[in-house]
Amino acid sequence: MSTSDHSDAPAPVPSAGSFAVSVPDLSDADLEAEELDPAQIVSGDPVVTGKVLWEAPDGSQVRGIWQITPGVVTDTEANELFVVVSGRATIAVEGGATLEVGPGSACVLREGDKTTWTVHETLRKAYHISY
């Protein structure tokens, strides 16, 4: 490869005006209250908060931060990759695995997975969802 061949050069980093977002500290970023359907609550009094950091113009992808306080809830998942920032939970996937997640855990859930989340310590995660 010659010095003028840039085919292997990394893609340019987008400017803040296009879609780059920076959150200096995920562990204490301000989050906004989100509704939790009472029918999803199995036990406890969990509270959900979150913040969307980026959403595709067509709504097909969303990236953000999400948090839930202790309790047990059910959910039907989207295609999601998340990394736990803080807290601990057990996620039981109906007909599948039971996942123990904590700080640094990365998890992939599939669209349509039915899950039961037992949140032991307030759980905060950074996520990417594809619809």
Written as six digits, the tokens of 91 are 């996620």
For residue 12, what pLDDT is reported? Answer: 41
Checking DSSP bridges between strand 79-93 and strand 61-68, what pairing results, if any?
A: unpaired
Question: In this predicted structure, which of 14-28, 58-72, 83-97, 111-125 has the lowest mean pLDDT?
Answer: 14-28
CA distance 50 to 124: 9
pLDDT of amino acid 2: 40
> For 15-44, what is each residue's pLDDT tens digit?
444 557 777 788 889 999 999 999 999 999
